Amino acid sequence: MFIATLIAAGRLRDSDLARAAEIAGGGEMRWIDEGDAADLLLGPVDDWRALRDKLEAGLPGIDVIVQPAETREKRLFVADMDSTMIGQECIDELADFAGKKDEIAAVTERAMQGEIDFEEALHARVAALDGLGVGCLERCRTERVTHNPGARTLVQTMRGRGAKTLLVTGGFHDFADPLASELGFEEVRANHLESMYGHLTGRVTGAIVDAAAKAQALVQRREQLHLAKGDVLAIGDGANDAPMIEEAGLGVSFRGKPKLEAVATARIRHNDLTALLWAQGISRMEWTTD
């Protein structure tokens, strides 16, 4: 059996549910949280992607997740950091301290669109930071970086229900480690910025966390936990997240680039990160919000 979950926090109407049932050719509607999210219970679905696309097209402003009912609540959550769990691209904000934000942001955008190789783009952007004082890392983190709405509630609720959590990013430990502590991630995979005598050298050290490494991190953790693909939820926004997203039972594009949206199981375009709790059938009264 499949479930189509409709999400439009504070805006979902009975007429939307009726329209969804009409598009799907039937099904039983159930509210998760009235006015916020509801499920359309379906039988077997031959082409779930085609159904999702029809529902999205017929229900503008509503996020739609179509998935098998039996593996709905996930046991492993793997997330990207920049523009996913936080609202910024850290390297772009850091480049602002070096007076190079515009040129670095342009390279970041091309990398996230999948137009240029991620590792090549990473080295080029980090090289532009050569000589920047390491004190700017903490200043940038505290002055510029903000959690995306719903990030902590999502992570804390899933952990409270027994799921494992992994933050995996092509960004840097200087940002990812504090963020993981703030949100509640248990593990982090990220890149290391090299510094010497209190200044960045313009180089990264160790293995690069690129698209392949992100996917490998998910698979490794999934296998360590003896989980099936259907037990995993992954989320990202850029083309470099695509291989990781494809390794998850529910692979989500969060306001993502076209190349990621093309392969994602679900596309969150209109709601915040708590949409992923409703996608798992978890009602608001069960969320951890402290």
CA distance 230 to 220: 15
| The residue type at 123 | H
Claim to verify: residue 109 and residue 223 sit in the same structural domain:
yes
Whole-number pLDDT of residue 108: 85
The range of the structural domain enclosing residue 32 comes to 1-70
Which DSSP state fits 26? Answer: -
Query: Strand pairing of 164-172 and 199-205?
Result: unpaired
Claim to verify: residue 206 and residue 101 sit in the same structural domain:
yes
Whole-number pLDDT of residue 254: 97
E strand or H helix that includes residue 168 = strand 164-172
CA distance 204 to 194: 5
The model's pTM: 0.94
Claim to verify: residue 228 and residue 143 sit in the same structural domain:
yes
Give the relative orientation of helices 118-127 and 101-112 as an angle to the nearest 10 degrees.
170
Claim to verify: residue 106 and residue 80 sit in the same structural domain:
yes
Claim to verify: residue 152 and residue 271 sit in the same structural domain:
yes
Secondary structure class of 227 (helix, strand, coil):
coil
Last residue of a domain, one of 44, 70, 96: 70
Claim to verify: residue 273 and residue 135 sit in the same structural domain:
yes
| The residue type at 236 | G
- Render pLDDT for 97-146 as a digit per residue (tens, 0 to 9): 888 888 888 888 888 888 888 888 888 889 889 999 999 999 999 999 99
Whole-number pLDDT of residue 253: 97
Can you name the residues that pair with 199 across neighbouring β-strands? 133, 196
How many angstroms from the chain centroid is the CA of residue 13?
A: 27
CA angle 45-40-263, nearest 5°? 55
Claim to verify: residue 149 and residue 220 sit in the same structural domain:
yes
CATH number at residue 31: 3.30.70.260
Claim to verify: residue 97 and residue 4 sit in the same structural domain:
no
Say how many CA atoms lie within 13 Å of 209 toward its Cβ.
Answer: 21
Claim to verify: residue 64 and residue 80 sit in the same structural domain:
no
Task: Give the 3-state DSSP-derived string for 69-87, with helices as H, strands as E and coil as C.
Answer: CCCCCCCEEEECCCCCCEC
CATH number at residue 106: 3.40.50.1000
Which DSSP state fits 237? Answer: -
Claim to verify: residue 226 and residue 271 sit in the same structural domain:
yes
Instruction: Write out the chain's pLDDT in tens, 290 residues.
Output: 899 999 999 999 999 999 999 999 988 999 999 999 999 999 888 899 999 999 999 999 999 999 999 889 999 999 999 999 999 999 999 888 888 888 888 888 888 888 888 888 888 889 889 999 999 999 999 999 999 999 999 999 999 999 999 999 999 999 999 999 999 999 999 999 999 999 999 999 988 999 999 999 999 999 999 999 999 999 999 999 999 999 999 999 999 999 999 999 999 999 999 999 999 999 999 999 86
Claim to verify: residue 232 and residue 258 sit in the same structural domain:
yes
Say how many CA atoms lie within 13 Å of 141 toward its Cβ.
Answer: 16
81-107 exposure pattern, b = at least 16 Cβ within 10 A, e = fewer: bbbbbbebbbbbbbbebbebbeebbeb
Whole-number pLDDT of residue 102: 87
Claim to verify: residue 193 and residue 56 sit in the same structural domain:
no
Active site residues: 80, 82
CA distance 78 to 229: 12
Instruction: Count the helix, strand and coil residues of the chain and give each as a percent rounded to the nearest 5.
Output: 40, 25, 35
Please tell me the total count of domains within the chain.
2
CA distance 196 to 142: 22
